[in-house]
Amino acid sequence: MKDALHPRFIADLRRVLNHLYDPDELRRNPLFAALGMLARGSPSRLREALIGIIAELKPRPGLSPDADAWRAYRTLHHRFVEQFSQAEAAATLGVSIRQLRRQESQALRVLADLLWIRYDLSPHYAGLPDQTDEEEREEEVAAGNAQSQAAAPTTAPLAGELAWLSQSRPAAATTVADLAAGALRTAEPLLHELAVRASLHLPDELPSVVVQVGPIRQALLLVLLEAIRLAPGGEIVLEACTEMDRVTLTVRSLPVNPAPAPVQLDQLTIARQITELSGSRLETLAGAGDRPFVAQLHLRLAAQPAILFIEDNPDTLQLYRRYLAGTGYRFVGAATDEQIAAALTEAAPQVIILDVMLSGMDGWEVLGRLRTHPRTQDIPVVMCSILPLEQLALNLGAAAFLQKPVSREALLAELHRLHEAQGPKPCSTP
């Protein structure tokens, strides 16, 4: 007969999972010593080992998505591997927070039983009290937080619940690949149940985006679930591209039947509201006839591309600054050799706008240095002059020429052209 699980072990396991990505917390946790054969002196090894053990609990193919084994695995994966809050996990799994807490306790027990027996942890906890005073206080605080979390969404109207969800975490930089892969993992049971293939096509150097990760993940999941539902036996395709100040993630549903089922507008309306509250934007196109269902999630770039203006006239620099306001490009100005060197190092500009006539400098000489220096030779340089010198500028290596006075429309058109030439293929209309 196996030894009973020690309550301290359950508390230690919950704490180590809640801080799975915090090396200091992992190192301080008693399980770091108890599971030394897994950690091998490194918190990251302990984290990787625990993630691997949770992955072992993933049910075999063919098991019903409603089975207890799937419920335990998904709860552990969302709550601890992906670090969802209880509210986010409950929304993803389609349960109340009260039910999520029950599932979490049951799933933790399954994981604890596996660890307790496999690594013979009974000697490490022999003779220890059930809890320390500090742990009791922590559990009281956690219970109070969970109770307040559970009360908020069940008593608030939909608008209040969505606003509460959108404020659950601050905006942070992430990758579209991580968002898409995480949502597809969550949707895997439905993909399997409806025999739908999922294809992910992302450019190699897609820039990072800044979003409220939890809410955007939920919105994307709602879109994916709808796309999967509309394509039984078919395929869903996820693609991404960049445009100006955003990355657009497109989800297409490609059903076998050319006349798909009606779109569930309520679910998509909630997804759209979540994205708007989170500072992003969702557009959907309901499929009709042979036209597939398409949804586009527009996400803000984490870092706006910098444009360096080399110009010694302060009024002109101020004009250029106003031109870029609200465009998704970041203004950087420089008027001297020292400022140019600092801007090239600190701002890493995507494009350089260079005036021909500079005080104390020759714009053509500056162009020559930029074209031959290894650090700047691949940065497009746009020459500006009141004189018609376009052919000379192009012959000397400029990427383009703008004649002064430069209008906002002409500047933005040229920046957009160069941005498209440098980056991934721009988005196309569905």
Q: What is the pLDDT of residue 78?
A: 83
Residue-level pLDDT at 427: 61
Residue 230 is predicted with a pLDDT of 87
E strands, 303-356, are 306-310, 330-334, 351-355
Domains of the chain, CATH where assigned: 7-155 (no CATH), 172-300 (3.30.565.10), 306-422 (3.40.50.2300)
- Inter-residue contact 307 to 351 (CB < 8 Å): yes
The total of other beta-carbon atoms located within 10 Å of residue 229's CB is: 19
DSSP letter for each residue of 392-404: HHHHTT-SEEEES
Across the chain, what does the average pLDDT equal?
80
Query: CA 233 → CA 190, 193, 195, 230, distances in Å?
Result: 11, 9, 5, 10
Report the first-to-last Cα separation within the chain, whole angstroms.
Answer: 62
pLDDT, tens only, 313-352: 888 999 998 888 766 688 999 988 889 988 888 888 889 9
Q: DSSP letters along 367-378, please?
A: HHHHHHSTTTTT
Residue 216: how many CB atoms within 10 A of its CB? Answer: 26
pLDDT, position 308: 94
Distance CA 332, CA 310 (A): 9
pLDDT band at 424 (very low <50, low <70, confident <90, very high): low
Predicted local confidence at residue 116, as pLDDT: 87
* pLDDT of residue 71 exceeding 60: yes
Query: Which of 20-34, 137-151, 281-295 is the least confident region?
Result: 137-151
Instruction: Between 179 and 27, name the one with better pLDDT.
Output: 179
114: which 2 tokens? Answer: 């596996």
* Lowest-pLDDT range of 103-112, 135-144, 411-420: 135-144
Q: What is the rounded CA–CA span in Å between residue 301 and residue 312?
A: 30
* pLDDT over threshold 80, residue 217: yes
Task: Please tell me the distance from the alpha carbon of residue 314 to that of residue 335, in angstroms, as a whole number.
Answer: 9
Residue the block writes with tokens 């992906």: 82
Q: What is the pLDDT of residues 131-171, one digit of tens each?
A: 544 444 444 444 444 333 333 333 344 555 555 554 545 66
- What whole-number percentage of the chain has pLDDT above 90? 22
CB 305 within 8 A of CB 243: no
Distance CA 254, CA 112 (A): 42
Helices (DSSP H) in 23-96: which residue ranges? 23-28, 30-34, 36-39, 43-56, 68-76, 86-93
pTM of the model: 0.46
68-76 helix and 97-118 helix, angle to the nearest 10 degrees: 90
Return the pLDDT at 180: 92
State yes or no: pLDDT of 408 exceeds 80.
Answer: yes
pLDDT at 270: 82
Average pLDDT over residues 259-267: 65
